[in-house]
Amino acid sequence: MFHVKHLFAKDGRANIMTKKLLMGNEAFAHAALEAGVRVVAGYPGTPSSELIETVAKLHAAGAARGVHVEWSTNEKAALELLAGASYTGARCLFTCKQVGLNVASDALMSLNYVGVKGGMVLFVADDPGPISSQTEQDTRRFASFAKLPVFDPSTPDEGFAMMQAAFDLSERYHTPVIVRPTTRINHASTFFDIADTTDARPVPEEGFERDPKWVIFPRRAYQAHGEINERLRDIACDFAHEPALAAFNPMIEGGEGLAPQANVSRETGAVHGGASDRHPNVSRETFDDEKNQQISELQDVSGATAVARSPRLGIVAGGVSAAYVREALRMVEAHAAEEDLVVPAYRFWRVGTPYPFPEETAAQFAEGLEQILVLEELDHVLEDELLAFAGRTHATFDVRGKLTGDARDRGENDVDDIASRIALFFGFNSQTDVSRETSAFAPVENLPVRPPVLCAGCPHRGSFYAVKCALGKTPAVLCGDIGCYTLGNAMPLDAVDTCLCMGAGITMAQGFAVAESHKKALAFVGDSTFFASGLTGIVNAVYNGHDITVCVLDNATTAMTGSQPHPGTGVTLMGPRRTPVSIERVLEAVGFECIVHANPLDLEASTSAAREAIEFAGPSAILFESPCIQLVKPGAPATVNADTCTGCKKCITEIGCPAIGFDADARGPKSKERGQAYVDSSLCNGCGLCTQVCPFDALGVPSEGGSHA
């Protein structure tokens, strides 16, 4: 906390504003609360999850008054709940990661046709890389597919402003609006002035008003489609002209054309005179004082061009790539100054509202340009828009980007790569090295590779191992799902043959059972995923009589995304604990006739339970029940008895626990020259699984202390 100031709301109440260092997702939460959001719902998914957690924390602390916040069963449930709330006039916020929007899409496509009343913002976090996702899908594409406006922030603080603008836009046009940050925006931190307390905007007095428009019918859908098309044209116009929205699509000019007499305003960044005057929205903006210094140097080295030249080169960027471009331009210009190179005049357009594409701003940007370089992550969305624009207007500029091999066609961008591409675009030698040279940015060589792995003590390890022991040599297909347990595919467990999407394992196993009936078909599903997307699959298994075994890995949390609660825990974000929804009772009610329980840390009992379920003809289930280690106090670590360890390595080659290593130099009466296993006590949580795997009783855990002892 750095300083406190008081602002006064319209009702005269003082809002205390505090400057705080916030992660992007925390800031988005504050932005929505300050915009008066009343209902917040979503499903956890990296990199989006912290937004709802922040709202829940503020609500629990009494700082977010009047808000309802929840983790819904899945994204579709969340969006449908919010649709109802929005029809009353409440401001609503939906959150998910990019693939979560697929789950909600059935509701979303219709919702855009029906329309909303209270502002409806969809916070959908994209994951270039992907770092923690199964696809690199681009929500900007989804926005154009669904015909929804989308904001694409380049920094967390721009995202803060966009969140508030999105609520206003949603209400003005009665359309859901997407705010689409990417991982680096979600997880970057910066300082914000935020209100210490917020009040949800009240639902209007009239509330929900019955109207035929709330009921979607084909005839109404036809009319609504026309209305959508019309409002998209209007919104594109707003994105180009309405100051508060056009501010998200700024342009700057730089490079050779800087006139020495230009009047550079360091406060506003605007430069008056020269080519900029032809374009009221184009400013010869300076980045900061450092940039001004660089400009002076450039003017010196370029011979202080007397008349500003109109740019022939343009750069377009969106999202975090736009922030990278700004930094890369500094690097390129600094490098040019050092090397006596002349930076050609250029125009840079940052596109914060990619859909509907603000064509009038594009026309202004493209005036006089011959080459345009497009830098964006994930899909070539802006590149396509510019190509379409060029086609429609018979423009002659070339568009370069992902489609031409001038930009990365997948994964994340970074400043060094963008700087190199801009240097090439400016005509500098392809050998020009403009990468950051300071040690703070220098890549560290020879870092050890750390593949993702189940935690030491993770109960899923025991579940997978028990199933493999029960199967023995029986041919089987093991269908995995989305969660920590996808890591069961790693060696030596090697227990996940497929992974498609949330809940798919249960239904895919049924496909294998039909097509390869000589094999056993098993599905692994986590407790949260079971509720999110597994229910339709288990009903299908009973309805169509598929011979599958569903292994529910119930660790009492949504572990992979940060230990969020789910219906099986009974914990809600609003405080009161509900009766947990029982997976066993759901399975019974649906018609599963073989349901067995197992503690995955008891190898013999779980293997026997797995055998019983696998041998059952028809849908069966094993409920592996043991909490995620993030929820329990660790027990005393296991130890290796040097007198009995033979160095056989079975504890390593069978279960692959990261807490067990092998010391080739260790010697003992049984291991002789082979070396011996050792336990890293800083990682081991004393789960005891390894002690049941060792055939020589050389591993043990103290019987006292710790929850697993």
Q: How far is CA 26 from the centre of its chain?
A: 14
Q: How far is CA 693 from the centre of its chain?
A: 38
66: left (phi over 0), alpha (psi -120 to 50) or beta: left
Regarding 301 and contact with ligand SF4 (CB under 6 A), the answer is no
Q: Are 193 and 72 in contact (CB under 8 A)?
A: no
Burial letters 15-33, b for 16+ CB under 10 A, else e: bebeebebbbbbbbbbbbb
Regarding 258 and contact with ligand SF4 (CB under 6 A), the answer is no
Q: Residue 671 contacts by C-beta under 8 Å, 6 or more apart in sequence?
A: 642, 645, 646, 647
Q: Select the span of 11-19, 404-412, 601-609, 649-657 touching ligand SF4 (CB under 6 A).
A: 649-657
- Candidates 96, 185, 399, 699: give the one binding ligand SF4 (CB under 6 A): 699
- Candidates 330, 460, 546, 611: give the one binding ligand SF4 (CB under 6 A): 460
Q: Select the span of 60-68, 201-209, 405-413, 626-634 touching ligand SF4 (CB under 6 A).
A: 626-634
Regarding 632 and contact with ligand SF4 (CB under 6 A), the answer is no
Regarding 640 and contact with ligand SF4 (CB under 6 A), the answer is yes
Sign of the C-alpha dihedral computed for residues 49, 50, 55 and 59 taken in this order: positive
- For residue 451, give the amino acid letter: P
Min dist CB 320 to ligand SF4, Å, is 28
Residue 71 vs 464, nearer CB to ligand SF4: 464
Regarding 658 and contact with ligand SF4 (CB under 6 A), the answer is no
Residue 455 vs 478, nearer CB to ligand SF4: 455
Burial class (CB in 10 A: 0-12, 13-18, 19+), 478: buried
Regarding 454 and contact with ligand SF4 (CB under 6 A), the answer is yes
User: Which residues does residue 348 pair with via DSSP β-bridges, in sequence order?
Assistant: 252, 315
Regarding 620 and contact with ligand SF4 (CB under 6 A), the answer is no
User: Which residues does residue 346 pair with via DSSP β-bridges, in sequence order?
Assistant: 254, 313
Alpha helices in 516-639 (DSSP H): 527-529, 535-543, 583-590, 603-615
Structure tokens at 232: 């998209």
DSSP H or E stretch at residue 58: helix 50-60
Strands (E), 9-65: 14-23, 39-42, 64-65
Min dist CB 559 to ligand SF4, Å, is 4
Q: Select the span of 13-21, 407-415, 564-572, 624-632 touching ligand SF4 (CB under 6 A).
A: 624-632
Min dist CB 283 to ligand SF4, Å, is 49
Tell me whether strands 346-351 and 271-272 are parallel, antiparallel or unpaired.
Answer: unpaired
- Candidates 331, 415, 556, 629: give the one binding ligand SF4 (CB under 6 A): 629
- Candidates 308, 458, 493, 496: give the one binding ligand SF4 (CB under 6 A): 458
Cis previous bond, 149, omega within 30:
no
Min dist CB 528 to ligand SF4, Å, is 11
Residue 53 vs 126, nearer CB to ligand SF4: 53
483: left (phi over 0), alpha (psi -120 to 50) or beta: left
Here's the x/- map for ligand SF4, 55-94, by CB under 6 A: it reads as ----------------------------------------
Question: What is d(CA 169, CA 174) in angstroms, rounded to the nearest whole number?
Answer: 8
Min dist CB 420 to ligand SF4, Å, is 38
- Candidates 95, 364, 646, 692: give the one binding ligand SF4 (CB under 6 A): 646
- Candidates 390, 642, 649, 707: give the one binding ligand SF4 (CB under 6 A): 649
Min dist CB 123 to ligand SF4, Å, is 25
Residue 395 vs 458, nearer CB to ligand SF4: 458
How far is the CA of 694 from the CAs of 7, 640, 649, 660, in angstroms? 66, 10, 9, 12
Regarding 642 and contact with ligand SF4 (CB under 6 A), the answer is no
Min dist CB 470 to ligand SF4, Å, is 20
Min dist CB 708 to ligand SF4, Å, is 12
Regarding 455 and contact with ligand SF4 (CB under 6 A), the answer is yes
- Candidates 22, 120, 240, 645: give the one binding ligand SF4 (CB under 6 A): 645
Regarding 698 and contact with ligand SF4 (CB under 6 A), the answer is yes
Q: Select the span of 281-289, 379-387, 435-443, 642-650 touching ligand SF4 (CB under 6 A).
A: 642-650
Min dist CB 505 to ligand SF4, Å, is 16
Quickly count: other Cβ atoms within 10 Å of residue 437's Cβ. Answer: 11
Structure tokens at 662: 């092998």
Regarding 687 and contact with ligand SF4 (CB under 6 A), the answer is no
Burial letters 609-624, b for 16+ CB under 10 A, else e: bbbbbbebeebbbbbb
Quickly count: other Cβ atoms within 10 Å of residue 61's Cβ. Answer: 9
Regarding 638 and contact with ligand SF4 (CB under 6 A), the answer is no
Residues 520-579 that bind ligand SF4 (CB under 6 A): 555, 559
How many alpha carbons fall within 13 Å on the CB side of residue 88?
15
Q: Select the span of 16-24, 94-102, 277-285, 623-631 touching ligand SF4 (CB under 6 A).
A: 623-631
Residues 119-178 that bind ligand SF4 (CB under 6 A): none
**By rule CB under 6 A, what count of residues binds ligand SF4?**
24
CA end-to-end span of the chain, whole Å? 43
Q: Select the span of 187-195, 249-257, 260-268, 451-459 touching ligand SF4 (CB under 6 A).
A: 451-459
DSSP annotation of 125 reads: E
Residue 502 vs 694, nearer CB to ligand SF4: 694
Regarding 484 and contact with ligand SF4 (CB under 6 A), the answer is yes
Sign of the C-alpha dihedral computed for residues 505, 507, 509 and 511 taken in this order: negative
Regarding 630 and contact with ligand SF4 (CB under 6 A), the answer is yes
Residue 295 vs 560, nearer CB to ligand SF4: 560
Quickly count: other Cβ atoms within 10 Å of residue 402's Cβ. Answer: 21
Here's the x/- map for ligand SF4, 360-379, by CB under 6 A: it reads as --------------------
Length of the chain: 709
Question: What is d(CA 653, CA 504) in angstroms, rounded to the nearest whole number?
Answer: 29
Question: What is d(CA 560, CA 615) in angstroms, rounded to the nearest whole number?
Answer: 31
Residue 83 vs 677, nearer CB to ligand SF4: 677
Regarding 677 and contact with ligand SF4 (CB under 6 A), the answer is yes
- Residues found near ligand SF4 in the complex (CB under 6 A): 454-455, 458, 460, 484, 555, 559, 628-630, 640, 645-651, 676-677, 694, 696, 698-699
